Amino acid sequence: MKQINIGILGCGTVGSGTARILLEKQKLISDRTGINVHLKSIADIDPTRGKDLPLADGVMTTDAGAVVDDPEIQIIVELIGGKTLAKELITRAIDNGKHIVTANKALLSAHGNTLFPLAAQRGVDLAYEASVGGCMPIIKSIRESLVGNAIGSIRGILNGTCNYILSRMTAEGCAFDEVLADAQANGFAEADPTLDVDGFDAAHKLAILNAIAFGMTINLEDVYVEGIRRITPMDIEFAADFGYTVKLLAISKQTNGAVEARVHPTMISHDNILASVNGSLNAVTVSGDCVENVLLYGHGAGKMPTASAVVSDIVDIARNLVFGAPGRIPALAYRPEAIRTIPVLPIDRLHTRYYLRFTAENQPGVLSKIAGALGSHNISIKSVNQKGRFYGDHTPLVMMTYKACEADMKKALADIAALHIVADDPIVVRIEEDNGGL
């Protein structure tokens, strides 16, 4: 039986989970593949992290460089995270002719345009299924199962922390800060939640998905990003009155030679299947011209679900090595020479419907002034909701619009602010009407 040696860099949550699967499921994997996938080394600055694993002597080390340079190791699994040391070690491993598995979406979204061509030039595989969607095989699905489809759109809940927070706010009517604090206390959110709640984590993942879906260079800097901090239980309640649920969605679509790429709070109808995805779960829908719509659903993070995706990449590469077929599937779904620069549609050119909530002065004529400012910029109001709540001299005024241009909406809101009839900035939430047929 052919043996393929593995070296893991990082024995944290996902690293230790990956090691555990390789050790405990070794017979299952060999029965399925005919390959002995052997864990040879694990490197971590804290050698005690491996104390709960049934490791042989000499497997655990603090010297990551020694693992990367070990001539007996064919596959390096980078689970350190970050964009500095991880990049250095991956580059060094590629230069040594080693194949790479990583879950590092921040690194790939920032430096993938360099790392993927480098791996291709050296004839090694760089696999990254665990970087997007945890255990959901979204990358494999687009890259392999949907290879005969032109992808039209992707819509997904790609951050479990935000979905957990919004789900709790919806079910219990709790405020954002309260739910976030509870999520941090229970390990669902980081001590510094910025990457998650401000939308950047989902943007990293969307940039990677766009590349494999549309054959474009990774273009993180042009993805529009907006987080969930300003969403309140009041907005969630108003949304429900109109038949909508609030989710943080990552959305991309091919549009007239460009790609929409945006992450922001979104109102979707209650009958959209994504509206029923709650807690820390993730889900993504992909629209292809042959299959129409495909849904993937599962744990987008967590020790063992993410480790499962890492192991799937390890086994794929091991099979390639045994059959002498590294590079069998292009890392970004397209041959390197076919990948091109596709412009990302500026958010100001987006046309969509909007939910608007103003904290308006309680006086005659306010509604007509706001409606007039919107109308002067070609924005038509579909419905209005005012429940008679009062906050001093102000009351919440909610409007749902017909489709409008984002640039026009910004101009209208600036005009309304200049009228000095509203307190605070309005809450603006975009509405996604198309549920992808699901």
13 is in an annotated binding site: yes
Q: Indicate if 111 and 163 belong to the same structural domain.
A: no
In a domain, 340, yes or no: no
**0.85 exceeded by pTM:** yes
Chain centroid to CA 317: 24
405 is in an annotated binding site: no
The tally of CA atoms less than 13 A away on the side-chain side of residue 406 is 15
In a domain, 436, yes or no: no
141 is in an annotated binding site: no
CB-CB contact of 214 with 142 (8 Å): no
Q: What is the full per-residue pLDDT of the chain (438 aa) written as tens digits?
A: 899 999 999 999 999 999 999 999 999 999 999 999 999 999 999 999 989 999 999 999 999 999 999 999 999 999 999 999 999 999 999 999 999 999 999 999 999 999 999 999 999 999 999 999 999 999 999 999 999 999 999 999 999 999 999 999 999 999 999 999 998 988 888 899 999 999 999 999 999 999 999 999 999 999 999 999 999 999 999 999 999 999 999 999 998 899 999 999 999 999 999 999 999 999 999 999 999 999 999 999 999 999 999 999 999 999 999 999 999 999 999 999 999 999 999 999 999 999 999 998 878 889 999 999 999 999 999 999 876 555 557 789 999 999 999 999 999 999 999 998 898 899 999 999 876 545
11 is in an annotated binding site: yes
CATH code, 146: 3.30.360.10
Element (H, E) at 231: none
15 is in an annotated binding site: yes
Q: Indicate if 193 and 247 belong to the same structural domain.
A: yes
Q: Indicate if 115 and 263 belong to the same structural domain.
A: no
In a domain, 355, yes or no: yes
Structurally, how many domains does the chain consist of? Answer: 3
Residues 6+ apart with CB under 8 A from 184: 190, 191, 193
CATH code, 356: 3.30.70.260
Q: Domain of residue 188: give its range.
A: 138-299
The DSSP result for 159-192, as a single string, is: -HHHHHHHHHHHHH---HHHHHHHHHHTTSS-SS
The alpha carbon torsion through 133, 216, 227, 297 (nearest 10 deg) reads -20
Q: Indicate if 52 and 113 belong to the same structural domain.
A: yes
Q: Indicate if 119 and 153 belong to the same structural domain.
A: no
Active-site residue set: 205
276 is in an annotated binding site: no
- The whole-angstrom separation of Cα 400 and Cα 239 is 10
Q: Indicate if 124 and 153 belong to the same structural domain.
A: no
27 is in an annotated binding site: no
